[in-house]
Amino acid sequence: MLDRIQAWDDKVLMCIANHHTPFLNRLMVYITATGDNGLVWFALCVPFLLLNQWRLTGFTILAAMGIASLSGELTIKHIVKRVRPCKKAFEEFLLIENPPHYSFPSGHTTASFSVAAVTIVMCPVLAPAVTMYAAMISFSRLYLLVHYPTDVIAGIIIGIICGFVAIPVAGSIPLFTFQL
């Protein structure tokens, strides 16, 4: 079963790699860079944190990203220890520096979809844009051949769970609702 999943992952990545173009190469490198260390999501938090009526949303996004990082980056990756596709047979297609950590799940995707889950509940007007950008970051990880499709699928699922877990957690901590 695992061999069939791996074969499917490899087939999808090769299909994507065969459709690289100079424009998409630059675009995907840029999109993935905005997801590095949650940069775009931290930037999204700033206006939320500055406005009293939205402060809880900003802190909930930060909590979701923290829970996502603890579960995905610091726990699951070190249990599964999946080698990245770019460290195998795809070196000739690599457009960014080879990431140093394990592949499963995609950390960019996990963080992005944890934020999307929070905005779906707490700020629905932004949810379509946030979810679309989360999807673009996730696809960029496939396009750049640093994750397998199953890494991204797992990241989406884990991220959504982390976002939904963060909502009651952040709401229960009085510090998150303080007023300036």
Each residue's pLDDT expressed in tens, for the chain with a length of 180 residues: 788 988 898 889 888 888 888 999 999 999 999 999 888 999 999 999 888 888 889 999 999 999 999 998 888 888 888 877 777 665 666 767 777 788 789 999 999 999 999 999 999 999 999 999 999 999 999 999 889 999 999 999 999 999 999 998 887 766 555 554
Q: Could you give the number of structural domains in the chain?
A: 1
- Rounded CA gap, 113 and 119, in Å? 10
Q: How many other β-carbons are positioned within 10 Å of the β-carbon of residue 41? A: 25
pTM of the model: 0.87
| CATH number for position 81 | 1.10.606.20
Domain that holds residue 94: 24-174
Tokens read off for 124: 């629905």
Residue 133 in any domain: the answer is yes
Tokens read off for 98: 């080879």
Residue 163 in any domain: the answer is yes
Q: How many other β-carbons are positioned within 10 Å of the β-carbon of residue 121? A: 14
- Rounded CA gap, 177 and 170, in Å? 9
Question: Do the beta carbons of residue 113 and residue 156 sit within 8 Å?
Answer: yes
Question: Do the beta carbons of residue 75 and residue 102 sit within 8 Å?
Answer: no
Question: Do the beta carbons of residue 28 and residue 140 sit within 8 Å?
Answer: yes
Residue 64 in any domain: the answer is yes
